[in-house]
Chain A
Amino acid sequence: MLQKFLNGLSVQKKMQREEELYRNLIRHEAKIGGELFGAVLEGGRREFFCLDEHTWVWHEEWIDTYGQRQSKTTRYDVRPNGILKAQDGHYQPVKLQEAQRLLQAARIYKHRIQTELYSFAS
C-alpha cells in the first residue's frame, strides 16, 4: 500500500518536472521570438512564440507615459480562411497586412528556434 502511494508520488513528480521542462522550452522560444522585431524600449519586454499548430502568442510589456508598467498578451488563432486576434478577451479578425507580418515573423521564428534551440535534438 505504502509502496503504491510512493510510486504514485514519484510518477506525479516526474510529470511535474516534465511539464516544467516543457514550459521552459516554450519560455526560451518566446525569448528568441521576442528578438525578431528589433529593439524594445527601456523597461519593456517582448515575447513571441508558437503555442500549438493553430495558435501564436505575442506578449508585450512597456512603460506608459505615466510611468506605469503595462502589458498586453495577444493570441492569434489561425483558421483555414483567416486569423482571429484575441486581446483582453475580445476577438477581432486580423487584417492582411498584420497577417503578413505574423507570417514573416513565424518563418524566421521557426528557423531560429530550430537552429539556436533545438539543433542538439536533430
Chain B
Amino acid sequence: MEISKIIEVAKDFSHERVEHAAHGLANLEAAVYNMTVDVYDQALKAQDVQYNTEATVYQIHPGANQLEVVEPQANDLPLNPNIQENAPIPDNTQLAEIIPINAATTQFPMPELHAEEQQRRVINSREDLDRFYETHNNPDYEERIPA
C-alpha cells in the first residue's frame, strides 16, 4: 500500500475507533443511569416511600439510613451511597478503582442511546478475542504500533 493510502485508511479507522468509544461511553452512561435509578427505586420501595420519579430527586444521606426529598435539579442524579472514599484495592474479579482521577461526580447529562449496532470487525467472537491475546507476545508488537 502506498504511504498516502495507509494514512488515509488509518484516518478512517481512527474516526471509527473514536466513534466507537464515544458511542460506547454514551451507552455505558445510559446503562449506569438506569441501574442507579433501579437501585434507588428499590431503596425507596423498601422504605415504603411514595414518590414521583418525574419531578422529584431523592438523596440518601450516608450513614443516616434514610431518604430525603430534595428540590429537583436538571440532570441531577441522587448521591450514590456506594461511593467510598479511599476504597480498598479490589481483587482480580472487580475492575480496579481508578487512581487518582477526577472526583466522582453525581451529575452527567442524560445520554442518547445509539441502538444501531455497528458491524463488529476483526474481533467478532470469544475465539477472536483469545487469539487477540495469544498474539500479544509478538516481539514486533511495539514496532507495529502506528505513531
Q: What is the interface of chain A, defined by CB distance below 8 A to chain B?
A: 14, 17-29, 36-38, 46, 50-60, 62, 71-75, 78-83, 87, 89, 96-110, 113-114, 117-118, 120-121
Contacts and interface: CB of A to CB of B under 8 A. Distances in A.
Interface stretch (B34-42, B52-60, B61-69): B34-42
The 9 closest A-B pairs by CB, nearest first: A121-B14, A53-B23, A37-B96, A50-B24, A38-B99, A118-B14, A110-B21, A121-B11, A97-B82
B122 interface: yes
B110 interface: no
15 contacts: A26-B122, A28-B145, A50-B20, A50-B24, A52-B118, A54-B117, A62-B92, A80-B27, A80-B30, A96-B35, A99-B35, A104-B102, A106-B25, A107-B25, A121-B15
Interface size class of B (residues with CB under 8 A): 35 or more
Contact of B80 (A52, A96, A107): A96
A80 B105 CA distance: 21
B86 interface: no
Interface in B102-147: 102, 104, 113-114, 117-118, 120-123, 126, 129-130, 132-133, 136, 141, 144-146
Contacts, number: 179
B35 A56 contact: no
Contact of A101 (B9, B25, B93, B98): B98
A107 B126 CA distance: 25
Majority-rule SS of A interface residues = helix
A83 B122 contact: no
Nearest to A20: B144
Contact of B98 (A23, A78, A108): A108
